[in-house]
Amino acid sequence: MQPNGSSPASTQTVTNGSSPEIIEHKAYARIGLLGNPSDVYYGRTISLNIRNFWACVRLQPSADLLIVPHPNHDLVKFDSVSQLVNRLETEGYYGGVRLLMATCKVFTNYCKEQGIHLHNNNFSLSYDTNIPRQTGLSGSSAIVCATFSCLLDFYKVRDKIAVEIRPQLILNAEKELGIVAGLQDRVAQVYGGLLYMDFNKESMDKNGYGNYTQLDTSLLPPLYLIYAENPSDSGKVHSAVRQRWLDGDMFIISSMEKVANLALEGKKALLEKDYSKLAILMNQNFDLRRQMFGDAALGALNIEMVEVARRVGAASKFTGSGGAVVAFCPDGPSQVELLNDACKKAGLSIVPVKVVPSLLSEVDIRAQSSIHHPST
Which tens digit of pLDDT belongs to each residue from 214-252? 999 999 999 999 998 766 544 454 568 888 999 999 999
- Mention every residue, 6+ apart, whose C-beta is less than 8 A from residue 332: none
Q: Phi-psi category of 313—alpha, beta or left, where left has phi over 0 and alpha has psi -120 to 50?
A: left
> Cα–Cα distance between 5 and 320 in angstroms, integer?
23
CATH class belonging to 23-216: alpha beta
The residue annotated as part of the active site, out of 185, 216, 249, 331, is: 185
> Cα–Cα distance between 87 and 91 in angstroms, integer?
6
pLDDT score for 233:
45
> Is 166 within 8 Å of 187 (Cβ atoms)?
no
CATH of 219-352, one of 3.30.70.890, 3.90.1530.10, 3.20.20.80, 3.40.50.720: 3.30.70.890
- Annotated active-site residue 185? The verdict is yes
- Where along the chain do its domains lie? 23-216, 219-352
Number of other residues whose CB lies within 10 A of the CB of residue 107: 26
pLDDT score for 78:
78
Secondary element (H or E) of residue 352: strand 349-352
State in Å, rounded, how far the first CA of the chain is from the last one. 33
* DSSP 3-state of 355: strand
- Mention every residue, 6+ apart, whose C-beta is less than 8 A from residue 316: 226, 282, 283, 286, 305, 306, 309, 310, 325, 326, 327, 328
pLDDT along the chain (376 residues), means of 10: 44 52 95 95 96 96 92 77 79 81 97 96 95 86 96 96 95 88 91 96 92 96 91 54 92 97 98 98 97 90 96 96 94 97 96 95 78 46
